Amino acid sequence: MELFSLKGKTALVTGGSKGLGFALAKGLAEHGANVVIIARDANALQEAKTKIESSSQSQCRIFSFDLHDTSHIDIFFSEVVREAGPVDILVNCAGINKRGYAEEISPAVWQEVLQINLTATFALSQAFCRHRKSINIGGKIINIGSLMCQAARPSVAPYTVSKGGVLMLTKALAVEWAKYNINVNAIGPGYFDTEMTKQLQADEKFNNWVLSNTPLGRWGDPNDLVGVLVFLASHASDFVTGQIIYVDGGWLASL
């Protein structure tokens, strides 16, 4: 099990106070990593910290930061390192989705979705790379993509474009930063049961569409992502970079 051990590692997870981000941070902690979680809501962060530390023997540090402010990410990342120590693993999970038909999407909505989902991911990855270079030790970046890295559906054009960008950013950084021994990979979740999808699950037509197109016949549970995350964060994936692993119940494999 040493191959998958995260003991002695520190992982930073964006969007770690709720939903998939919380499940990922909690999973890393339960597999031995100390975790740093970033979100905007200070109360939600404190609640997440309490839950993570009560379910593991790991330390959880919390930082409130708005990823809309990409110009200050480098400074913020340095503050995290000063307080929490070296960051070995970066999980770019924070993301937003604003629905609307493409012909009606405003430039402001377009820019906001790309700012959070893609630009902030790039800026955080840059800060992580500079940090790891400064101590001359490699690291692991795991980006959270989507089925929309590979496919599209109506009413989510900005989200689809941003996640397609995340996939290509993963490949670009993997190729460029391999010389620093930084592995860059991604996870592509399918349709998952979270607070953000409760409204979609309550829509009988949409729910049936999801279930009928998922060979395993259910919505994903956030904990379904943890095994892949631990693999990509640990020494088990040291020769894996530039890849995306879809955790989608077979969605993309089905016609």
DSSP conformation class of 239: T
> Could you give the residue numbers annotated as active site?
159
Q: How far apart are CA 182 and CA 85, in angstroms?
A: 18
Total residue count of the chain as it appears in this document: 255
Taking residue 28's Cβ as centre, other Cβ atoms within 10 Å add up to: 32
Cα(226)–Cα(56) distance, rounded to whole angstroms?
Answer: 14
Distance of alpha carbon 166 from alpha carbon 184, whole angstroms = 11
CA 154 → CA 4, 79, 179, distances in Å?
Answer: 39, 40, 40
User: Tokens 């709720």 sit at which residue?
Assistant: 18
Half-sphere exposure of 180 (CA within 13 A, CB side): 23
Report how far residue 163's alpha carbon sits from residue 59's, in angstroms, rounded to the nearest whole number. 31
Tokens 């892949």 belong to residue:
228
Nearest to 230 by CA among 6, 1, 2: 6
Residue 36 has φ and ψ, to the nearest 5°, of -120, 125
